[in-house]
Structures are given as C-alpha cells and as structure tokens.
Structure 1
Amino acid sequence: MEQTVKREYVSSNYLLPADNAETERLNLQHCILKKAFGDELALAPITLHSHDLVLESGAGTGIWAQEFSAFHSQNNVLLNIECIDISDKQFPREYPSNIHFSIHSVTDLPQEWKNSFSYIHQRLLVGALNDSRWNIAIDQLHDVLKPGAWIELVEVEAKGLGYGVGPNSKRLASLITSLHTSKGIITDLEVYLPKLLARKGFTDIHCEGRDIPIRESVDNDGLNRSKQWHDLWMGVKTPVLTGGGFGIVGSEEEFDKLLEGCLKEWNESDKAYTTYYAIVARKPI
C-alpha cells in the first residue's frame, strides 16, 4: 500500500528515515535526554582544552555538538568538533566555524584520524548496527581516540520492557521485537557494549541508566515525550511493512491505528517508560 507521506531513508542498514520530520523528532529527543541526564551533555570525566579534537559519531542534526561547543566556549575553551553521519540530509545549514560536518560511517573512519580525538560522543546507533558492525565500529573508534581519552556511547534499552502498558503498546513491543530480530539488532546494549569495550581493550568502563517516563510531559516542562516516542515508531513504518508486518499489522492503516492506540495508552499511564544508558570508557595510555 502506498504511504500517504513518503519518508526518506538513506541506508538499508538504518531503520529510521532522514527527513524534516525526523529532524524535529531528533531535536526533541535531544532535549528529553539532556534533561534526563541532569542537563549534562557528557557524563565522562573529561577535561578538555582549546583546540582539542572531539568526534560526534552519528551526529544527525548536530544539536549536541553545537551545545557542547557553546558550553565550552563560555569557559573560553574553543574545541574543534568533527561531526559525522552516513548522510548530510539532517546537517544544519548554519553552525560555528569550529564545527565540521562530513559524511562518514563509524565502520569506516579515515586512517589519518588515528589517535586524534580527545573525546568521542556517539548516540543511539542501536537501529544501525548488528553484532559484526558493532565490532567494527568499536575497533574504529578505539583507533581514532587518543591514548588516555574517553568515549561515551548513549543507547536505549530496546527490549520493549517498559512501554508495553496496554493491548496496543504490548502489540507494538512484540512488533518491534520481531523487526529487531529480523535486522540483527542488539537489544541489550547496556550489557553488550561494556563487554565489547572491555574485549577491545578499553578500561574504566561505567554504565549509567535513566528511566524516562513516556507520558506527554513531566512537571509541565513542555517536552512532549509521548509524541517523540510515537514519532520514533512512525519512522519504522516502511521497514515494518516491507517486512510484511510480522503477523501483527497488514497495512499502513493498521499500523497508524496501532500507534494511535499506543499514544492514548502512554498518555493515560504513569507506568510507561523507556531506559537510556550512558556508557563511558577510557582508552589506556
């Protein structure tokens, strides 16, 4: 069935689209995550200096990099930030001159970057990497990180344990589980990544989680969490339908109706939540 609104996807390896609607969702997601982690843009115990190189992998809209740069500029620290993604479709049109955007995959970083970065930040590549690609990505990130420097990987618990609070959202959780299985998605990165980082030679590994409620707003902060969560899953409609609906939905109309029901359940429940993790590790000197 032809979709009413055609979404734009840039890679068969990544489940989500790269278009204006996704840009808006990513920026809202950034605000929600930032508040959940106490308004901190980084949990790694870093001390950066002017002209240090910082890498943001999977930069998307670049909102994290711009805020991270501005925060350090207030303290008279001018960083050089390299933002990479597999597509430039969501890169901002205007940004400070100390931030550079380029098209690169985390599984294939330039060799000239070896031992260059004083800090690496990567966020929410759960929908892009399977086991083999995660192994390659961590090898690549290890290579470009300076000895003694820190890496921070922010990921989400993907088993659907917290957002299935009613018949519709439980069906959605089952649907997303089937989609993840079909793509080889790792759903327990909070367990998987610390072990992988240790095998790759990283030390001082720490994982810190935050449970984020999915109701529309918390403390009237204006952050529509349930809309962000609804729009996230709306973004996987094409891969779901391409995969045949996994025995749960058979058409675009059924998918849309399922998400409408989920949105209602999330806004009526104080039990619906999702968990995000910040995983930090250091490359030995």
Structure 2
Amino acid sequence: MSDNPTKERFYTNDSAYILPADEEERKRLRRQHQYLTRAFDNRPILAPVQFAGGDQVLEIGAAAGAWLFDAAQQIESSSNVNFHAIDIENRHFPSTPPPNMSFSIASVLELPQAWAGKFSYVHQRLLMGALTEAQWPIAIQEIYRVLKPGGWVEMGEGEARIGCPDGHGRPRGLDLVHQFYLSRGLMVDIGPELPNLLKAAGFVDIKMTPKSIPLGKWGGELGEGGVEGMCGFLRAVKKPVLAKGGFGLVQTGEEYDALIDDLERDFNETPGYSWAHYITYARKPEGVDN
C-alpha cells in the first residue's frame, strides 16, 4: 500500500501528460522497468539487432531513461552507438546524461522531419495510457519514417483487462481501470493488436512475445513488482479519474484511496490475478523510401 496515499502529487500543466511528474512517479517507473525486464529474462532488447559503430537508437516515452541506460549496457560500448530519448514532459530527464545520450521534448505523433531514416533501432513501451485508438497508426507510421531501411522497432504494451482467479468475484477497482481507458478513447487491448498495426504500416519480420505477469505477493518477486506497478499506476491517475467524476465508483479522494488499497489487498491475498504484457518487434524493409 502507498506510504502516504493522501500526499499531494505534482502534475504538469500539459493536460496530455496525465501521470504525475514527481519523484514518487520517477521511482515507480524505475521499479516498473525492473520487473518488466525481469519478466523477459532480463533482456532489455529482444529484437535481433546487430549494432554497428555510428548507429542511432531512439527511445520514445523515456521518462528518466531507465530502459535506455540498461540497453546501453547490453550494447557493447566499443560499438560507438548514440542514444536519444524523447518524452512530452522533461521533469524526469536526468540532469547529467552520458556524452552519448541526449534527451528532448517531442511526441511520437510528430517526430522531427530531420529524423527521417536516422535510427537503426527504436524502442517504445507502455504508451497504452497515452495514445488513443486513432493515434496508434499515426505513431507507428512516424516510427517507420524515422527508421533506416532494415532498422528495427520494439514495442512493449499490455492490456487494460486483468485476469481474475477462477470463481472469484471481480473487484470494483478493476472497473476503474477499464472505465479510465474507455473515457480517454484508449485501446484496452493494444498489446496483442500491435502485430496487425505494424503489418499495416509496412513492417516485416514481425514477432510478438507474450508474458503473463502475476499480480500479488503470492507470485514471488515478479508478482510483488506486478502488483506494485498496477496499483502504483492507479494511484498516479487519481487526479484525472476524480476529474472525470470517479465513473460512479468513487466520489472523494478518500474513497479512491480506500478502493485501491482494497484492490491491492485482494491481489496479494488471492492467488490467480495476472496482467498480460506483450513485446513485439518488427523490421523496416530494405530498399524502401523514408
């Protein structure tokens, strides 16, 4: 449970960025990165990329760059690869990144024109809470444009639906997840839909790897990370959910906190809850125009 659920969180004035931009959120994102990487055998990159000197890597929705720093360690330093990260909010950016890393404010929906055909590899993860159904094809086409011919994209997304134990009633807190996504026009099942969207954009050699992540302490270290990530996200979107009226489930901040505390308790005490996460990678064909 949250150490201080009533603590005031800091939100940016940009309404497009719905999550808090504070130290608590930075820590949550770091822990989220750690348990998702652990779920996929501690491999930050699954795509069969062969990096060479001078290659450019782009991370989209980078926050503090947790994935970027781990990926840079996986790629041999002798390969002289350059890394760039973008987000629509810069408060999480590291103040002193290494010389081969840079961070800037940008949106995947409108990447700089000068980036056409620049990157050998693009990584994006968990924008399922940011991009609407209409925006996903635009984002994927922009990624296609900035990749070099033969370059790879790798995307990690999940589902808003939570798997429940057999015979166990659905907690009210799970309705909050579903209603939040629907209220923003988001795709509740974007994870398994990515192969179709990538194919429609022209990508080839598409492969999807699904993982079922346990939610609860009964699931060991991975389950602890899963429940912390899920409930941490719900606590982080408290302000925008209450601004929508609580979807008929809660009316006050105190009711919201109690609902998420009950959900977290149920996750930890009832084996069988799970969340599906999918990593999909694909290649831009050789010999195509940007």
Q: Secondary structure at the match of 1:90?
A: coil
The count of corresponding residues between Structure 1 and Structure 2 is: 281
Shift of 1:192: 2.4
Match in the other structure for 1:189: 190
Gap regions ≥5 residues in structure 2: 1-5
Give the direction of change, closer, same or farther, for the CA distance of 1:269–1:98 in structure 2 (3 Å limit). Answer: same
Q: Distance in 1 between matches of 2:175 and 2:187?
A: 15
Residue identity matched to 2:143: L
Give the direction of change, closer, same or farther, for the CA distance of 1:50–1:218 in structure 2 (3 Å limit). Answer: farther
Q: Secondary structure at the match of 2:251?
A: coil
Query: Does structure 2 conserve the Cα–Cα contact (< 8 Å) formed by 1:130 and 1:185?
Result: yes
Give the direction of change, closer, same or farther, for the CA distance of 1:206–1:256 in structure 2 (3 Å limit). Answer: same
Match in the other structure for 1:81: 83
Shift of 1:48: 0.5
Give the direction of change, closer, same or farther, for the CA distance of 1:65–1:280 in structure 2 (3 Å limit). Answer: same
Shift of 1:223: 5.6
Q: Percent identity?
A: 37
Q: Return the TM-score normalized by structure 2.
A: 0.90
Q: Secondary structure at the match of 1:38?
A: coil
- RMSD after superposition: 2.1
Counterpart mapping for 1:88-237 below 5 A: 88-162=90-164, 170-216=171-217, 218-219=219-220, 224-237=225-238
Q: Distance in 2 between matches of 1:164 and 1:59?
A: 37
Q: Distance in 1 between matches of 2:277 and 2:85?
A: 22
Match in the other structure for 1:266: 267
Question: For 2:25, which of 13, 18, 22 is the aligned residue?
Answer: 22
Deviation per CA, 1:132-151, whole angstroms, max 9, x where unpaired? 22121111111000111110
Q: Secondary structure at the match of 1:131?
A: coil
Query: Does structure 1 conserve the Cα–Cα contact (< 8 Å) formed by 2:218 and 2:271?
Result: no
Q: Distance in 2 between matches of 1:119 and 1:170?
A: 40
Query: Does structure 1 conserve the Cα–Cα contact (< 8 Å) formed by 2:207 and 2:282?
Result: yes
Shift of 1:217: 7.1
Match in the other structure for 2:277: 276
Query: Does structure 2 conserve the Cα–Cα contact (< 8 Å) formed by 1:127 and 1:185?
Result: yes
Q: Return the TM-score normalized by structure 1.
A: 0.92
Match in the other structure for 1:242: 243
Residue identity matched to 2:277: Y
Is 1:38 the counterpart of 2:41? The answer is: yes
Query: Does structure 2 conserve the Cα–Cα contact (< 8 Å) formed by 1:163 and 1:173?
Result: no
Gap regions ≥5 residues in structure 1: none
Query: Does structure 1 conserve the Cα–Cα contact (< 8 Å) formed by 2:118 and 2:147?
Result: yes
Query: Does structure 2 conserve the Cα–Cα contact (< 8 Å) formed by 1:66 and 1:95?
Result: no
Q: Secondary structure at the match of 2:205?
A: strand
Give the direction of change, closer, same or farther, for the CA distance of 1:234–1:143 in structure 2 (3 Å limit). Answer: same
Give the direction of change, closer, same or farther, for the CA distance of 1:228–1:164 in structure 2 (3 Å limit). Answer: farther
Give the direction of change, closer, same or farther, for the CA distance of 1:109–1:165 in structure 2 (3 Å limit). Answer: farther
Q: Secondary structure at the match of 1:89?
A: coil
Q: Distance in 1 between matches of 2:186 and 2:126?
A: 12
